[in-house]
Amino acid sequence: MKILWMILITILFVSHIALAQDLILEKNPEEIIILAGDSMFYQRETWMVDLQTGENIYSWGKPISLNDEEVFIQVEGGVLLSTINDASNPNTIISIYADQPTIGMIYLTYPLHYLSLNYLYQFFWEPDEAAPIGRLLVDITNQNQEAIRNTVFVIADQQFDLNLEPFETKRLIVKEFQTMSAEKISRYNPSYFNDTNIHFFWDLLLPDEILFAAKAEYFEKSTTGVVFLGENYLSGETPQLRAEVGESTDIVVEEKIEKQEKLNQIFNKEGKEVLYDTLEKKSYRVANRGTEKKKIEVVVPLQAGYEFISCSVPLDRTEVNQISFFLDLDPQQEMKVSLEVSGKNFTSGFVFR
């Protein structure tokens, strides 16, 4: 009995396929390639078909490289009843039910594994501008042995008509945008940079809708041309971007320990000092020798166990073992900042080093 049932099912299945209309015989589909949120390229085929009342069966020649579960099928003008994939037949059978004769649409979407891409950001800051202009680019590589001809690519809601030869790479400017906010900051932090140079940063805020993991390049425009300042890589997880773009040669920071005094000393029986408090004072001379206004952050290493006595500017706690202060200096302006602290129960050394 099982054998008879299997023969009957096979006959029905084969006859089902024999009645299927081959989509290739219908009008040529509209084909576009879409860049999705997962950074994959997807082919989308749109087939226009004449649906008759009742069940309509179509046969689609699926690319051999695709797995069945990678193909997403949608229809308009009717109801998708079923799709059939059989190992002995490379085609996919699509069954659609329609209440009345109408023009229907079949949408077939599937990934293109032979197309690869890389994102790239470029930022250009012009003199006297409050923020740089950003540019998002995409490098597309055809890793297939067949050329791609006259194909529409949709990337970030922009359409591009492209031809790609086998193993060819093309760079597209997808979008130009204004950064949400931007600031130029010079930082002095010898303990982090392992030098006493003034490192120059751009702090930028990017629009959320164009965040990708990508390399970023930074350029400064001037009357004499465009200068490449450097590059780094974005995680794509946060719109906040901090880019080191060089070292400042027109800012001077000099630090000086003004006083280190031991108080309340305790000695052991041998007369050796074992415990003491400290009273210490440190100063910073910060000067802007440039022709533009500068925002400067000075980071001060400061270990635990201290107490502030006085400071000539507001301080921020940035880490457990460091504080910092910011100065806005006009061209040719300089300022002296004094910081006084006390330390308790020291066994060696001082707060300031």
Tokens 């970023």 locate to 216
The band of 320, judged by pLDDT with boundaries at 50, 70 and 90, is confident
Q: For all residues of the chain together, what is the average pLDDT?
A: 85
Question: What average pLDDT does the segment 124-136 reach?
Answer: 89
- What pLDDT is attached to residue 88? 66
Per-residue HEC secondary structure of the chain comes to CHHHHHHHHHHHHHHHHHCCEEHHHCCCCEEEEEECCCCCEEEEEEEEEEECCEEEEEEEECCCCCCHHHCEEEEECCEEEEEEEECCEEEEEEEEEECCCEEEEEEEEEECCCEEEEEEEEEEECCCCCCCEEEEEEEEEECCCCCEEEEEEEECCEEEEEEECCCCEEEEEEEEEECCEEEEEEEECHHHHCCCCEEEEEEEECCHHHCCCEEEEEEEEECCEEEEEEEEEECCCCCEEEEEEEEECCEEEEEEEEEEEEEEEEECCCCCEEEEEEEEEEEEEEEECCCCCEEEEEEEECCCCEEEEEECCCCEEEECCEEEEEEEECCCCEEEEEEEEEEEEECCCCCCC
pLDDT tens for 135-180 read 999 999 999 898 998 888 888 788 899 999 999 999 999 899 999 9
User: Is a pLDDT exceeding 60 seen at residue 270?
Assistant: yes
**Among candidate residues 143, 186, 136, the one with its CA nearest the CA of residue 292:** 186
| Distances in whole angstroms, Cα of residue 174 to Cα of each of 134, 214, 241 | 11, 14, 20
Task: Please give the DSSP secondary-structure letter assigned to residue 305.
Answer: S
User: What are the structure tokens assigned to 158, written together?
Assistant: 């922009």
Question: What average pLDDT does the segment 233-255 reach?
Answer: 89
| Distances in whole angstroms, Cα of residue 38 to Cα of each of 27, 35, 47, 140, 341 | 31, 8, 25, 15, 53
Least confident of 11-20, 246-255, 275-284, 341-350: 11-20
Phi and psi, residue 208, nearest 5°: -60, -35
Least confident of 24-38, 63-77, 115-129, 255-269: 24-38
pLDDT tens for 6-64 read 333 333 344 444 456 666 545 567 788 888 766 788 989 999 999 999 999 998 888 87
Q: Which residues pair with 165 in a beta bridge?
A: none
Tell me the helices (H) and strands (E) count for the chain, helix number first. Answer: 2, 25
- What pLDDT is attached to residue 348? 86
Least confident of 135-139, 156-160, 247-251, 262-266: 156-160
**Among candidate residues 214, 217, 219, 206, the one with its CA nearest the CA of residue 234:** 214
- Hey, what amino acid is at 331? P
- What pLDDT is attached to residue 252? 93
**Calpha distance 228→309 (Å, rounded):** 45
The band of 351, judged by pLDDT with boundaries at 50, 70 and 90, is confident
Question: What average pLDDT does the segment 308-312 reach?
Answer: 85
Task: Please give the DSSP secondary-structure letter assigned to residue 52.
Answer: P
- What pLDDT is attached to residue 309? 85
Instruction: With beta carbons less than 8 A apart as the criterion, state whether 187 and 297 touch.
Output: yes
Instruction: With beta carbons less than 8 A apart as the criterion, state whether 214 and 206 touch.
Output: no
More confident: 94 or 1 = 94
**Calpha distance 216→63 (Å, rounded):** 36
pLDDT tens for 68-82 read 888 999 999 999 998
The band of 322, judged by pLDDT with boundaries at 50, 70 and 90, is confident
pLDDT above 70 covers what percent of the chain?
90
**Calpha distance 100→92 (Å, rounded):** 24
Instruction: With beta carbons less than 8 A apart as the criterion, state whether 293 and 339 touch.
Output: no
Instruction: With beta carbons less than 8 A apart as the criterion, state whether 326 and 286 touch.
Output: no
pLDDT tens for 179-234 read 999 999 999 999 889 999 999 999 999 988 888 889 999 998 877 788 898 898 98
